[in-house]
Amino acid sequence: MNSTPRLLRDSSLYFAGNIIGRVVGFLMIPFYAAHLSTTEYGIMSLVELATMVTAILFGLQSIGQTLTRVYYDQATEVARRQVASTALIAAIAGAIIVAAGACLCARPVALAINLPHQVALLRVSFAGMAFATIGEFLLVYQRMHARARFFLVYSLVTMFAAVALNIWFIGALHLGVWGFVWSKLIVAGVGTGFLLAVMLREIGIVPARRHVAALWHFGAPLALSGVCYFTIHFSDRLFLAHISPADVGVYSLAYQFAMLLSVLVGDSFGKSWNVSFYRFAEDEGWQSRFAHIGSWLVFVLAAGAMGIALFGRDTIRLVAPPSYVPPVLLLPVLVFAYFFREIGDFFRNMLLIDIGSGLVARIALAGAAANLGLNFLLITGPLSLGIWGAAIATFITWVLYGGVCWLAARRLHRVPFSAWPLARLLVLGALVMAAQSVTAPQNRYASVAADALWWCAFMAASLFLYLAAAQRREITGLLRGGLKT
Burial class for 167, CB neighbours closer than 10 Å (0-12, 13-18, 19+): middle
**Quick one: which of 36, 1, 359 has its CA closest to 166?**
36
3-state secondary structure 321-338: CHHHCCCCCHHHHHHHHH
Q: What is the pTM of this model?
A: 0.86
CA dihedral 80, 205, 212, 65 (to 10 degrees): 60
What region does 384 belong to: left with phi over 0, alpha with psi -120 to 50, or beta? Answer: left
- pLDDT for the residue numbered 485: 46
Is the separation of the CB atoms in 167 and 29 below 8 Å? no
Burial class for 334, CB neighbours closer than 10 Å (0-12, 13-18, 19+): buried
Residue ranges of domains in the chain: 36-207, 221-485
Burial class for 446, CB neighbours closer than 10 Å (0-12, 13-18, 19+): exposed
CA distance 352 to 405: 11
- pLDDT for the residue numbered 424: 92
CA distance 11 to 313: 27
Instruction: Give per-residue burial for 56-89: e unless 16+ CB within 10 Å, then b.
Output: bebbbbbbbbbbbbbbbebeeeebbbbbbbbbbe
CA distance 294 to 284: 17
pLDDT in 10s for each residue of the chain, 485 residues: 456 677 778 888 999 998 998 888 878 878 887 887 767 877 887 788 788 888 887 777 788 888 988 998 888 999 999 999 999 999 999 999 999 999 999 999 888 877 888 899 999 999 999 999 999 999 999 999 989 999 999 999 999 999 999 999 999 998 988 999 999 999 999 999 999 999 999 999 998 998 999 888 888 888 889 889 989 988 888 888 777 777 887 888 888 889 999 988 999 999 888 888 888 887 888 999 899 899 999 999 999 999 999 998 888 887 777 888 888 889 999 999 999 999 999 999 999 887 667 899 999 999 999 999 999 999 988 888 889 999 999 999 999 999 999 999 999 999 899 889 999 999 999 999 999 888 888 787 888 899 999 999 999 999 888 988 887 887 777 666 654 54
Containing H/E element for 44?
Answer: helix 38-57
- pLDDT for the residue numbered 357: 79
**Quick one: which of 447, 426, 444, 445 has its CA closest to 436?**
447
Is the separation of the CB atoms in 268 and 18 below 8 Å? yes
- pLDDT for the residue numbered 457: 94
